[in-house]
Amino acid sequence: DEKIWAHSGDSHLMEPEDLWTSRLPKRLADRAPRSERGEKYEILYIDGQQFDRQLNDFMDAMRPPGFKDLKIRLQDLDQEGVRSQLAFPSMGFWTCNIRDPELEKAVARAWNDWAMEDIMGVQNRIFAPAIVPLMDVKNAVAEAERAAEMGFKALYFPCGIDDDRAWGLDIWEPLWATAEELGLPLTFHIGTGGENVVYRGPGGAVVNYMETTYPGMRVITHLVAGGALDRHPDLKVLVAEGGAGWVPAIGDRMDEAYRQHGMFVRPRLSRLPSEIIRQQVYASFQHDISAVQIIQDTDYHNVLWGDDYPHLEGTYGHTQETLHTIFDGVDQAIRDRVLRGSFEELFPTMAA
Ligand SMILES: CC(C)(COP(=O)(O)O)[C@@H](O)C(=O)NCCC(=O)NCCSC(=O)[C@]1(C)CCC[C@@]2(C)[C@@H]3[C@@H]4C[C@@H]5C[C@]3(C[C@]5(C)O4)[C@H](O)C[C@@H]21
Ligand SMILES: [Mn+2]
């Protein structure tokens, strides 16, 4: 089989242990996200809060050679057939659990400085979205402007957020306006901003996997129905690692709501929800078959493949097998769109 080359819209950076201790004054570094190996769980400490997280064997299971070595990682990419990667945080995901605005701002800034200096500054295939502090939207706007100045080409957001700060609320308007003006896509990653293990009964692993996916749909529902994307037509949004088959489906449901419950709808939109979704919403998957099958029939094209490197949910070690399974026999235009086109449309200057 000929090698299939792809960009990945969903990968991860693995931060060094001393990312924050080496960059922040001790009084802040001591409260930055830190993980320790517990008996059965990895234990996370964030600004004095403690979270029992992922099972150790679960975390140990993902160990591609380039896990923590950028040079080897680039060899992993060549081996797997991955050209460029949008690489999300790992420990940086927990920044959104920080409740102190000053600490959150310092932790986000330090992460961005590290990502720019140690990753993006030394090669051109792997790039990260910038983390913005969310406790105070003014801090988010300032960090988005600083990040754009530094050369970042996307902003990272957690899917989960408190109800009183829901993504559809107008409190975020200054940030959406700034992101649109700076040409920075909003890249939301699933499994963030909330509890990941919410059910421990039969089928728990599969149930929890699905439960971390639904918030991605909620993000899109709020940004579309709340008017944010309608007000900012050049703003693009990616939901990473949540699959893509659901995107046109919620477009239909939202159109039905918009029409059948029109008497209750506020704000009115200048386009139907499904049109806003087709023009501004992108989604990534790893192994899904449906993510590609829906493109032909629904005319929804903003689908990106992602390797989710180095996570277990990703394709490291079986990328070519996965890409051949999904794309052999698929229309070349669809294959090009999903493997490269959507990515290059979202990040025009980042595709190596
Ligand atoms: C089998 C049970 C029910 C037994 O319960 P017990 O632990 O005995 O009380 C439970 O252990 C379970 O569900 N285990 C399956 C593994 C798991 O933790 N599933 C969570 C849902 S999936 C998930 O949260 C994703 C979205 C996908 C897997 C990687 C994931 C955990 C990553 C991993 C771990 C950590 C969390 C993180 C970013 C991070 C830095 O990388 C995302 O926030 C989130 C993400
Ligand atoms: Mn991922």
User: Closest-lying ligand to the alpha carbon of 61?
Assistant: 1
Residue 40 is predicted with a pLDDT of 83
Is the pTM for the entire model greater than 0.90?
yes
Ligand 1 atom with the shortest distance to the CA of 89 = 40
- Digit-coded pLDDT (tens) for 35-73: 998 888 889 999 989 887 777 777 777 789 898 899 999
Q: Which residues line ligand 1 (CB under 6 A)?
A: 53-55, 58, 90, 93, 190-192, 196-197, 200, 204-205, 208-209, 212, 311, 313
> What pLDDT is recorded for position 351?
78
pLDDT at residue 22, rounded to an integer:
97
Instruction: State the virtual CA torsion across 52, 55, 58, 62 in degrees, nearest 10.
Output: 40
DSSP-derived pairing of the beta strands 49-55 and 41-46: antiparallel
Spell out a b/e string for 326-345, using b for 16 or more CB atoms within 10 Å of the CB, else e. bbeeeeeebbebbbbbbbeb
In the chain, which residues have pLDDT < 70?
Answer: none
- Distance (angstroms) between ligand 2 centre and the Cα of 13 equals 10
Q: What's the pLDDT tens digit per position in 156-174?
A: 999 999 999 999 999 999 9
Rounded to the nearest whole angstrom, what is the distance from the C-alpha of residue 343 to the centroid of ligand 1?
27
What gap in Å lies between CA 253 and CA 220, rounded to an integer? 12
* Ligand having the closest approach to the CA of 312: 1
pLDDT score for 122: 97
ipTM of the complex: 0.97
